[in-house]
Chains A and B, each alone.
Chain A
Amino acid sequence: MNDSVITESTKRFKWVGTRPIRPDGVPKVTGRALYGGDLRMPGMLFGRVLRSPHAHARIKSIDISAAEALPGVKAVITAKDFPDQKFEYIGPERVAQNFWHITRNVMAREKVLYEGHQVAAVAATSASIAEEALRLIKVDYEVLPHVIDVDDAMADDAPLLFEDMITRGVEPAPTKPSNISKRLEFKIGDVDKGFAEADVVIEKEFKTAAVHQGYIEPHACSANFNADGQVELWTSSQGHFQMRALVAQLLGMKIGDIRAYAAEIGGGFGGKTVTYLDPLAVLLSKKSGRPVRLMMSREEVFKGTGPTSGSSMWVKIGVKKDGTITAADGIFKFQAGAFPGSPVMNGCLCSFAPYAIENMRAVGYDVVSNRPKAAAYRAPGSPISAFAVESVLDICAQKIGMDPVQMRLKNAAHIGTPTIFGPKHAHEGYAETLKALQDHPAYKTTLGPNQGRGVASGYWFNGGGESSATIQVNADGTVLVATGSPDIGGSRASMALMAAETLGVDYSTVRAIVADTGSVGYTHVTGGSRVTFASGTAVVNATKSVIKDLCKRAAIIWDVDPEAVIWEDGFAKPAGANVGNFEPLSLKALAAKAAATGGPITSAASVNAGGQAPGFSSQFCDVEVDPETGKVTILRFVAAQDVGRAIHPSYVEGQIQGGVVQGIGWALNEEYIYNSKGQLDNAGFLDYRCPVASDLPMIEALLVEVPNPAHPYGAKGVGEVNICPPMAAIANAIDRAVGVRMPELPMSPPKVRAALDAKAGA
């Protein structure tokens, strides 16, 4: 066991918890892995998308005749080629999908609502011809006033994106349209009474920038619409089953007529749970009769795909001198982008979730503005509200002179603590992460001038839901594990480890793959930190079915009852001495007898996994602020997270390190810079500054293991909660280093320097 793993359990496993070399590593480092843009098919066409140059404009007309006439152009499509969709919110509020909106995001109809909005697409025999064809499409725009900032979009005189949008969640319903799509409120107790009981009450306003998920691989897909109406779709997405369903709905097709394949994926972080190119590629292929590939440039990714929301927030917290939080209140206004649907509900629900507070309220607003539609990003919504809440908590701790970890421990949620959304917590794990920080030798070290230490925590629900897996035992006893989960965080290794552990066979004999929609049962997206939990449960269930089958086959060979056979350490064995004197049969031996004992050894399992247990993360960082430039250097970053049980600890540590690094970028550098016309001025990685290795120390991941009994091996989701604390941890560290409180992200050098100047001039 690695030193980073802090475990409550003494149970030892042979494979779970080990660190074999990743099975997808060699194809990736040798450049052989096939990503969304790598597929080549005979006769394949090159697709390109025409995008809006305007932040907000009415489309008066689109003339594609010149483009269609260009030699080499095989298809041109606009919104007219898509069936319109009914205006209705289908499904739950957080994920309520309104296909009237989605079809307009995929291809603009009456208006363009942001720079980069898709307006038309072409397929041609070469990329250069496709580019030339885009230039020949004539779009007559009536440019309209635009609005970018969330507070500006909520103003009474703001330009309206939808002239008939009435705020949902307000009783009585407003009579005047606005850009506020929805208002939410969650509360327990009496916040006024709680604040009256407090010795110290702190309230503060905050703003966060919209930030992009920053996946390295741009969106890409290839589609082949066959003459018989059957479609093959290769897509870089977090859920090929989901892409299949979206394409079917958007194009009026049957789900069964589409077979989707998960390409290797170069990151998603939530941003590849939505579709942009897939329906265009299918439609272009249908119209041209040829396979079509579409791939975005980095500029298109920035201008045309969802970042997470920017926000404007207000948080108020009251504490007693002994550190008890008596009340907490927050208003969270999130940018949804051009269409309703920010993660503000999650922001509200997660805001105070780590804490036992009797009196809480969270009010959320979902607000549209002329930016790309917000998409999920790692624990969507939670990091945003955590920045405000954890910053105010730190101010409270300083006011009462209490250690910030101790204050959080005093108020930590435990089993039975009510949440703001109603149910009581059912799992521990938070306090354990705080104790891991307290016990870390670096937590008590002394820092130098202009250096400070900041602490923050975060909460994320984690996901369960529908997953499927199949197991095949090959003739030589090797094993194939197939799931429907695109592998983004190392799931192939985790699935193989769990199957090997359950079967009691060597890990090297088990190979895991991601199967297409025609080869395995429905599986929900790789998102919500759900795959190791839900798909892992399906794999273990399928493996147990195989074991049952293997015992039956051994019983046939031994001519005994199946109940007289047990499976142990990879062998079928007699359950007791009275069964008979039989030599144990290995998986390999039974596989060799497959034909004689009933045919191929296979099994399938599907689950709707529940009881997933939430994720808690607590982190501290040490920073140094350069008073001359305002630059913040991260000196140390320690991230403790309750992971349930780490199936492959290296991947888990990688998830934690990745989440923290993305949080550092969100904290210090990343932002969208719009010019006066509402056009993005930094649509590239040179100007949109993600952290690189030279910006960072080694992120120290502490794996706290409080196993989840609802998972066969105790796993909890690990992919998301790690991005919740870094922004506040860094803000708190800056404050403790140089005495300035940064209420706005990013805390870039000019802003820190301005805050230092303001402090000096005060």
Chain B
Amino acid sequence: MAAGGHCRVVFTSGFSARYTGGVREFDVEARNLRGVIREMDAKFPGLAETLENETTVAVDGELFEIDFLVPVKDGAEVFFIPKIEGG
């Protein structure tokens, strides 16, 4: 993919303990959520499926369901959190 800006990918402590060896933060180059997930999957093979199925993502605090097209600006914080569902 075309190079984008750098973003900071963050996981919860519980998620990082399970999937990323306890490392919570990563610097990733991407221009959208697909790029973020692809980069993380390259670091931890299989992680893409987990992220797509188990998380909601907050990009600079704005909540999104996993949607590859969500843009990620240079310097953004991309925080993966457990999915939320209402009543």
Q: Which residues of A come within 8 Å of B, CB atoms?
A: 90-96, 169, 171, 184-186, 213, 269-271, 273, 345-346, 349, 376-380, 415-416, 421-427, 460-466, 527-530, 608, 610-612, 710, 717, 720
Contacts and interface: CB of A to CB of B under 8 A. Distances in A.
Interface of B: 10, 12-14, 17, 53-56, 58, 60-65, 67, 70, 77, 79, 81-87
A171 B54 contact: no
A242 to B, nearest CB: 11
Contact of B62 (A96, A349, A710): A710
B86 A376 contact: yes
Nearest to A375: B87
B63 A92 contact: no
Given A273-B87, A378-B87, A527-B87, A466 B53 contact: no
A94 B83 CA distance: 6
Given A378-B87, A528-B86, A610 B63 contact: yes
Nearest to B60: A426
Given A465-B65, A610-B62, A91 B54 contact: yes
Given A186-B12, A422-B10, A424-B77, A346 B84 contact: yes
A184 B63 contact: no
B62 A529 contact: no
21 contacts: A92-B82, A93-B54, A95-B83, A269-B87, A273-B87, A376-B87, A378-B87, A421-B82, A422-B10, A423-B58, A423-B63, A423-B79, A423-B81, A426-B58, A460-B86, A464-B65, A527-B85, A528-B86, A608-B64, A611-B63, A720-B87
Nearest to A612: B63
B63 A270 contact: no
B-side binding surface: helix, strand, loop or mixed? Answer: mixed
A461 B63 contact: yes
Contacts, number: 110
Contact of B87 (A380, A425, A465): A380
A416 B58 CA distance: 13
Nearest to A270: B87
Contacts of B53: 90-92
A211 to B, nearest CB: 12
Contacts of A710: 62
Contact of B86 (A91, A93, A462): A462
B62 A611 contact: yes
Contacts of B65: 464-466, 608, 610
A-side binding surface: helix, strand, loop or mixed? Answer: loop
Contact of A425 (B12, B61, B64, B77): B61
Contacts of B86: 270, 376, 379-380, 460-463, 527-530, 717, 720
B39 to A, nearest CB: 19
Nearest to B10: A422
Given A171-B17, A422-B58, A424-B77, A95 B85 contact: yes
B67 A610 contact: yes
A611 B56 CA distance: 11
B60 to A, nearest CB: 6
B64 A610 contact: yes
A422 B84 contact: no
Contacts of B84: 94, 346, 349, 461, 463, 528
Nearest to B86: A528
Given A92-B83, A95-B83, A424-B77, 8 more contacts: A92-B53, A213-B87, A424-B61, A463-B86, A464-B65, A530-B86, A608-B67, A610-B65
